[in-house]
Structure formats: C-alpha cells, structure tokens
Amino acid sequence: MFHVLILTVIGVLLALAIGLVAKYFGAEQDPRADQLLELLPGANCGGCGFAGCADYVKAMLEGRAKPGCCPGMTPASLSKASFILGVEAEERERKVAVVCCRGDESVAVNRAFYNGVTDCVNAVMVANGGKACTFGCLGLGTCARVCPFGAIEITEKHLAVVHPELCRGCNKCVEVCPRHIIKLVPAKAPVHVLCSSPESFKIKKGVCSAACIGCRKCAKNAKEGQITFNGFLACINYANPPEAEVADVCPVHVIAASKAQQSK
C-alpha cells in the first residue's frame, strides 16, 4: 500500500515539474508554424532548398523564403500559405516529371544480361548497362526509390513510369537518373516525346522499335516552333506546346498524350 502511495506522489510531482518547465522555459512558437506545416507535403524532400519541411516553415516565418519555393505544394495550399503569411499569392505552374522513354523489354534490345546490383547507377558503371540504347530507361528503380511521394512505378517490363497525379515535381528523380532521361515538364502540356535518343535512325532502329525515328511528321502537323529537333529526336517546345492531336500522326507512337491531362 505504502509503495503505491510513494509511486503516485512521485508521478504527480514529475508531471508538475514537466508542466512547469514547459510553461516557463518552453520555446515560444509562432501559431502559424503548425498551420503552415500542415499545408506542406511533409515528405522532407529538400526541394525547397531547406533541410526539410519544418526548416522551410521557419525560414518562411522569418521572411527568408517565399511560400513558392516548395515544389510539392498544390496551388490551393500555396494560396492558403500565402494568406497565412500575408504575402501576395504567386501564380505558379504545376510541374510533373516524365520519363522520356517507352522502351520496355518488349521493344528495346538488350545487348547483354545485367547481373549486378539492382540499381541504375550501378548498371551504368558496368558496360553502360544491359540495354543497347544508351538513352533508354534501365528500369532498375533508382528513381522510384528516391521518390518521396511514391509516384514512380517500375512496370513488369522494367520501365519507369511517373504517375502525374502523385508527382509533386520535387526534381529528385531528375537528379538521380544516371541516363538523364527524366524531365520536369508543365503538367498542362498536352503531349510528350517519350524518347531521349538523338542518335541516328540507323543506330536507333537497331536497338529499339519504340524510338523516335526523326520523320518530322509531327513538326509538319504542328505550328512553327512548337516542335524542334535535336539530331533525330523531336523535342516539344514546352513554352509553346503543340496540340494533343499531334500524337495521332506519329507513326511509332513515341509522341504520347500527357497522362496528367488524361487523368483530368
């Protein structure tokens, strides 16, 4: 009985001590901090240039950063955050990542079996990976592992595909891809060229049946300057994107309608 009493007293005293310390020595926190933190994606991706979401909130409250630095914020939460901070809401275009390759196992040639660590960075160091096209997606999932939002799927045929509805455009996959074939593009762009190889038609045809063949049909069907060419590769001018109908004229279907637009 006595033990119980002593323990109870100790417990109460400790609780009081904690409460008093919290009241008198606790750091003062801006009430807006919690609200702002709520609005951020919470992935601590570092895309804003600060060490995680909490640090970014601190920077915003101290006026060191604008609310627009976070690539992962939706426009709605961005305007809310601007309202909380009392600054003018910025207009910002939502960007998503897109893997510019559709050469999965069924269409792209493998020149050797890669039998090493399941990571694209490793594969590139070993005879430049198993895929014969040096601009092709290796599909070993390095981008999917760094994605803080789980927006990248590696398909059964070993191709990375970005799900635009989940993508917040934090740029992490773009940085990590050793083949540099992931691009950050405006979400409202209607079409993308899913090939990154500027090599000649001769080389490309031997390694991948889904490559851009550089036939320029798309350019003829689009307005001047909407589609440019880098070697044998069509490139969308995202500042002045062509209409979605361009996709229909491509004989190899390498120009695909944006999934972000389709999902709407």
Partner 1 sequence: MNTDTENNEIKMPDVSRLIISGAPHYHSPDEIRGIMFMVILALLPACLAGIWHFGVRALWIMLLTVASAVAWEVLANKVMKQKLSIYDGTAILTGLLLAMNLPPTVPEWVCVLGAFIAIVLGKMVYGGMGYNPFNPALVGRVALLLGLPSIMTHFVPPMHSVWNWCSAANTVTQATPLVLTHATPHTRAEIVVDYMDLLIGHCSGCIGETCFIALLAGGLFLICLNLIRWQVPVCYIGTVFIITAIAHHASPSAYATPVSHVLSGGLALGAFFMATDMVTTPLSRTGSVVFAVGCGIITSVIRLWGSYPEGVSFSILIMNALTPLIDKATAGHPFGTVRTAAQEVGK
Partner 2 sequence: MFNQLHFYGGVHPEEGKVAQSSPIAEPPILESYTVPCAQHIGAPAQPVVQKGDKVLKGQLLAKPNGFVSAPVHSPTSGEVVELTTCLGPMGNQIPAIIVKSDGEDKAADPMPLLDPANSAPDDLKQRVGDAGIVGMGGASFPTLVKLSPPPNKPIDTLILNGVECEPCLTADHRLMLENPDAILAGARACATILGVKKVMLGIEANKPDAVALMTERAAKFDIEVHQLKVRYPQGAEKQLIYALTGRVVPSGGLPMDVKCVVQNVGTAAAIGEAVTLGKPLYERVTTVTGTPVVKPGNWRFRVGTFYRDAIRLSGGVKDDVRKIISGGPMMGLSVCSLDIPVMKNTSGILLLSESEIVQYEPHPCIRCGRCNDNCPMGMMPGILSEQIENMRYDLAEEWHVMDCIECGCCSFGCPAHRPLVQHMKRAKAVVVAKRKAAAAAAAAKKPKA
Q: Which of 41, 67, 130, 214 binds partner 2 (CB under 8 A)?
A: 130
The C-alpha atoms of residue 178 and residue 97 are separated, in whole angstroms, by 15
116 touches partner 2 by CB under 8 A: yes
Residue 128 Cβ vs partner 1, minimum distance, rounded to whole Å? 9
Of these partners, partner 1, partner 2, none, which one is at the site of residue 134 (CB under 5 to 8 Å by kind)? partner 2
The verdict on 134 binding partner 2 (CB under 8 A) reads yes
Determine if 134 is a binding residue for partner 1 (CB under 8 A): no
Interaction of residue 145 with partner 2, rule CB under 8 A: yes
Is the separation of the CB atoms in 174 and 183 below 8 Å?
yes
Min CB(244)–partner 1 separation in Å: 39
Binding of residue 126 to partner 1 (CB under 8 A): yes
First to last CA, the chain: 68
Asked whether position 122 contacts partner 1 by CB under 8 A, the answer is yes
**Calpha distance 156→131 (Å, rounded):** 16
One character per residue 19-58, x = contact with partner 2 (rule: CB under 8 A): ----------------------------------------
Q: Which does 229 bind (CB under 5 to 8 A by kind): partner 2, partner 1, none?
A: none
Binding of partner 2 by 13 (CB under 8 A): no
Look at phi and psi of residue 216 and say left if phi exceeds 0, alpha if psi is from -120 to 50, else beta: left
Q: What whole-number distance in Å separates Cα of residue 164 and Cα of residue 122?
A: 27
What is the C-alpha to C-alpha distance for residues 246 and 221, in angstroms, rounded to an integer?
6
DSSP codes, 6-42: HHHHHHHHHHHHHHHHHHHHSPP--HHHHHHHHHS--
Q: Which is nearer to partner 1, 39 or 123 (CB)?
A: 123
Among residues 46, 52, 116, 186, the one that binds partner 1 under rule CB under 8 A: 116
> Quick one: tokens of 37?
């933190």
